[in-house]
Amino acid sequence: MLLSYPGLTGPAELALSDARGLREAGHTVLFGCDTRRDLKKIERSVCADGTQDFGDTASAVDPLAHQDFARAIDAAGFERMAELTLCKSKPTPLELARDVWSLRRRMEGADIVHTRFSHELLVALAAAKLSRRPPRVVHSVEKPPTKGGLWALRAADALVLPSRHALERLVQVQGSGTALREERLHVLPGRVDGARFTPGDGSALRAELNLPSDALVFGIVSRIKIERRHELFLRAFAQVSTALPNARLCVVGRGEHRPAIEALVDELGLRERAVFSGYRAGDELVTAYRALDAQVWLVQGNDGTSRAVLEALACGTPVIAGSGGAQAEVVRDGLDGRVVPLDPAWTPGMASSREELDALARALLDLADRDRREAMRQSARQRAQAFSPAARAEGLRRIYEGLSPVEAG
């Protein structure tokens, strides 16, 4: 398992979960991650004003300790290939050469190399070319590549996509050129730990945030970045705020776009109706989902599986999902929440359309009905149980075992 990033983000958490499932099935998993970059410097650099909410939690002395991928690998009991640099940020030729050579030596005893980002995919492909017995290279495609990046995907032995939507977008990007062979493409949904994310009491967080116990709380649990469309959520909430006087808006997370979102809260006159809970991890994250009456999740995250949607559903929290992406395939419209149509051509910087605002506003009004929400809570929990870590691990194992071994050269 290779991932060229030092932080425990969505793709890293998914890789660890996959590894645990494979280990339980009797397989051995080794990890490689970015060992050069300092995570705190990366997080600080994304803020325009030089400041950043690092996501301090009540249980963390080091605010980034729970976000360190290398520490998480070690704590999970997996062997980590510390000799690999795997830094995708301006790697030097010497670093690349060392990584290729080091990985080539490790490959001698491996059957599968699974990559998540394009940088480690290129390193793995180069190392495989030099190996006497190269393993099969599997690559997870979270986001559609540019046409220039298709050649590397074509060189991989298998591509794992998080949704049918992602598969369709990949097919569109490749166009009429040399097509990716259909047998190499596999749709594998995400997973959620139903024993950890469960329905329960979220009143403690409501009290901490001064949210009335009888308030109708719509929330979003996501990194605060422009791509996640917090702006659309705020504007739609403002549109229904008069009709729902007891409704509150809760933003859970941290991120570089927070100052702009807080400014929009003031512009829309929502300062008395909106709260920012900050970053939540561990048990605090579970409590955050429980404190919401409904979660709004409009755009899929970095790992493509929209894991926050599955986590919310497992906690019995209905979800209003945006169309396009895994979230729209997980949420069954009218059963587990609502799916609202969004403009597939939207890009960061574009204004939200009137059609998008009206669709999201209607969904908020729909979930304001207590009886409808209660019915959705039961359905949501049941839906989440279909996406277990064991089911995903079994799907991944089938993909791996479906690849014919490469004979030694």
Residue 74 has pLDDT above 90, yes or no: yes
Residue 313 has pLDDT above 70, yes or no: yes
The pLDDT tens digits for 181-215 are: 788 899 999 999 999 999 999 999 999 999 998 99
Q: How high is the pLDDT of residue 163?
A: 92
**Alpha carbon distance 398, 88 (integer Å):** 30
Q: Cα-flanking dihedrals φ and ψ of residue 222, to 5°?
A: -170, 155
The pLDDT tens digits for 318-327 are: 999 999 889 9
Mean of per-residue pLDDT scores for the chain: 88
The pLDDT tens digits for 329-344 are: 999 999 999 999 999 9
- Any idea how long the chain is? 409
For each of the domains in the chain, give its residue range(s) and CATH number, in order of start: 2-191+390-401 (3.40.50.2000), 203-386 (3.40.50.2000)
The pLDDT tens digits for 141-176 are: 977 776 667 888 989 999 999 999 988 888 887 765
Q: How high is the pLDDT of residue 7?
A: 86
Q: How high is the pLDDT of residue 178?
A: 53
**Alpha carbon distance 81, 370 (integer Å):** 52
**Alpha carbon distance 8, 13 (integer Å):** 6
> Which of 128, 125, 156, 119 is CA-nearest to residue 34?
119
Q: What is the pTM of this model?
A: 0.88
58 burial (CB, 10 Å; 0-12 / 13-18 / 19+) is: exposed
